[in-house]
Amino acid sequence: MTIPKRTNRFYDTSRFGQPQIRVYHKRRIGRRLPRYLLKCGCCEEKLEIYYSDDGLEINGVNGAIDDWREILFPLLLIEKDGDFFIDQRKVEG
């Protein structure tokens, strides 16, 4: 999994017209899982996502990866078709 590099500037509206989410990554340290830290583009609110091979913990809510897919993909307009994931925005428009 690769997350594209971002400038993480505060209140950067150049790409989407809204403040861009600031993304930070920390590697595994000892027994602590690796994580992504997502910060709001216009304030200091944050979201921590710890990940492993079999699960995700998002802001303290732990669950299997397939469970998170079942919840989040419909919100992102992504559907599973066999072994593939389809972006419904590109199919409809």
Print pLDDT tens along the chain (93 aa): 677 777 888 898 888 899 999 999 999 999 999 999 999 999 999 999 999 999 999 999 999 999 999 999 889 888 888 877 888 777 665
Q: Across-strand partners of 80?
A: 85
CA distance 13 to 42: 10
> What dihedral do alpha carbons 12, 18, 24, 25 form, nearest 10°?
-140
CA distance 22 to 93: 28
Collapsing DSSP to helix, strand or coil, 51 comes out as strand
pLDDT at 34: 94
pLDDT at 91: 65
pLDDT at 43: 93
pLDDT at 93: 54
pTM of the predicted model, to two decimals? 0.78
